[in-house]
Amino acid sequence: MIDLPASDPAEWPEDRPLTGLKIIDLTRLLPGPLATRHLAEWGAEVIKIEGPAEAGQDDAARHMFRTAADVLAGRPSALFADLNPGKTLRTLDLRSPAGREALLALVCEADALIEGFRPGVMEGLGLGWAVLRELNPRLVMCAISGYGQRGPWSRRAGHDLNYIAMSGVLGQIATAEGSVAIPNVQVGDLLGGTQSALSGLLVALLAAARTGRGRFVDVSMTHEVWRHQALARSAMAAEGGACPVPGAGLVSGGAPCYAVYRCADGRHLAVGALELKFWRTFCTTVGRPEWADQHWTLGQPPGSERARAQQAEVAAWLSNQTLAHWWALLEPADCCVTPVLHFDEVAGHPLFT
């Protein structure tokens, strides 16, 4: 078993699965640095390389959310500290011959290199895949970009909001009235970037260990988010190719058994009772057993007039009492219902302590 590591590298165990691997990290901001943080947590030696700050080549995460107290203490932001524990930090100017030579020397001894520049930048520096592979045939190189290394959009700039917009996710995070919400979780960066880079990199490292041959891993955050949308694609196929209607699907707000409801005190309950047995338990627990057979598995289509009417009835019932009242009833019940925690409540919840 691999437990999630502590935030403090001093508390990381000695026996970790990636001990002995050396990773060169040329990434910035969120997707790549979080990926290499995980690699460091799992035992890899991660060498994070930034350009000189005076030339504006340091990691912009050093400055995001930086407080006046951080500036006074001469330290980077909490974001940078959170993304980079356990890494060796080095400054190299890759625009200079000396900086490039120093990086090439590191590549000779590395197992992998991960970069997040716009496509073409590494080649322009004389540090492209062809050069690095010739130098170290076992090297795995992972490139994270918004739209992939090839194709008509490869050189376009973008951020998380753009990637989830182009992959069809943002349009689905909408109400039945069509209002689109900006999520406070970076789906493109984290799912499309961090997690996809980790899986591709680890698979390529496994292949290199078996064959002695490295690989290039091309991670397009937009394409990876699109690739993971199995439910949306299935829903569209079931509708004969019609685009899913926001707020009307089984898991997008169109089913009373899978929705978020407001309580009397303004707090919310997340009801995820997709299966009939959980829905029946929920209905009985909140004192409305007559709802138990009104469920999508028994012929109530999500998004239908019947479903909308029942959802309004559930909402009205739950709005009569506080979250604390409902949770006192529902916590002992096994029905896939939870409170919607505020972010500042999470760390202190027994689940996380």
Catalytic amino acids? 159, 189
CA distance 353 to 120: 45
Which residues contact residue 46 at a Cβ distance below 8 angstroms, ignoring those fewer than 6 apart?
A: 23, 25, 36, 37, 39, 40, 86, 87, 88
- Measured between alpha carbons, how far is 45 from 19 in angstroms, rounded to an integer? 7
Two tokens, residue 216: 């290039």
Copy the structure tokens of residue 250: 């089984």
> Rounded to whole angstroms, how far apart are CA atoms 44 and 251?
38
Q: What's the CA gap between 91 and 102, in Å, rounded?
A: 10
Take residue 69 and report the two structure tokens written for it.
């107290």
Residues 6+ apart with CB under 8 A from 50: 28, 57, 58, 59, 89, 90, 91, 92
Query: How is 88-156 classified by DSSP, letter by letter?
Result: EEEE--TTSHHHHHHHHHHHHH-SEEEE-SPTTHHHHTT-SHHHHHHH-TT-EEEEEESS-SSSTTTT-
Q: Are strands 112-115 and 258-262 parallel, antiparallel or unpaired?
A: unpaired
Q: CB count, 10 Å around CB of 69?
A: 8
Residue 212, sorted as left (phi over 0), alpha (psi -120 to 50) or beta, turns out to be left
Continuous H helices in the chain: 31-41, 68-73, 78-83, 97-109, 121-124, 129-135, 160-166, 187, 196-211, 221-227, 230-238, 276-285, 305-318, 323-330, 343-346
